[in-house]
Chains A and B, each alone.
Chain A
Amino acid sequence: EIVLTQSPATLSLSPGERATLSCRASQTVNNYLAWYQQKPGQAPRLLVYGASKRATGVPARFSGSGSGTDFTLTISSLEPEDFAIYYCQQRSNWPPEITFGQGTRLEIK
Chain B
Amino acid sequence: EVQLVDSGGGLVQPGGSLRLSCSASGFSFIKYGMHWVRQAPGKGLEHVSAISSNGGSTYYTDSVKGRFIISRDNSKNTLYLQMSSLRAEDTAVYYCVKDEIGDYAYYGMDVWGQGTTVTVSS
Q: State the Cβ distance, B67 to closest chain A Cβ, in Å.
A: 18
Q: State the Cβ distance, B20 to closest chain A Cβ, in Å.
A: 15
Q: How far is the CA of A34 from the CA of B97 in the complex (A)?
A: 14
Give the size category of B's interface with A: 20 to 34
Cβ–Cβ < 8 Å partners of A59 in chain B:
none
Number of residues in A with C-beta < 8 Å to the partner? Answer: 29
Assess the A98–B47 pair: CB atoms within 8 A.
yes
Cβ–Cβ < 8 Å partners of A95 in chain B:
50, 59
Cβ–Cβ < 8 Å partners of A98 in chain B:
35, 47, 50
Assess the B47–A50 pair: CB atoms within 8 A.
no
Identify 26 residue pairs between A and B in the complex whose beta-carbon atoms are under 8 Å apart, listed by A's number: A31-B106, A32-B101, A32-B106, A43-B95, A43-B112, A43-B113, A43-B115, A45-B112, A46-B109, A49-B106, A49-B110, A50-B105, A50-B106, A55-B110, A87-B44, A89-B108, A91-B101, A96-B33, A96-B35, A96-B59, A96-B101, A98-B35, A100-B47, A101-B44, A102-B44, A103-B44
The winner among B47, B52, B108 for most chain A CB atoms within 10 A is B108
Q: How far is the CA of A96 from the CA of B106 in the complex (A)?
A: 12
Q: How far is the CA of A55 from the CA of B50 in the complex (A)?
A: 22
Chain B residues close to A by CB (< 8 Å): 33, 35, 44-47, 50, 52, 57, 59, 95, 99, 101, 105-110, 112-115
Assess the A46–B105 pair: CB atoms within 8 A.
no
Q: How far is the CA of A46 from the CA of B110 in the complex (A)?
A: 6
Is A23 part of the contact surface with B, judged by Cβ < 8 Å?
no
Contact partner, A100, options B44, B110, B114, Cβ 8 Å: B44
Chain A residues close to B by CB (< 8 Å): 31-34, 36, 38, 43-46, 48-50, 55-56, 87, 89, 91, 93-103
Q: How far is the CA of A56 from the CA of B114 in the complex (A)?
A: 19
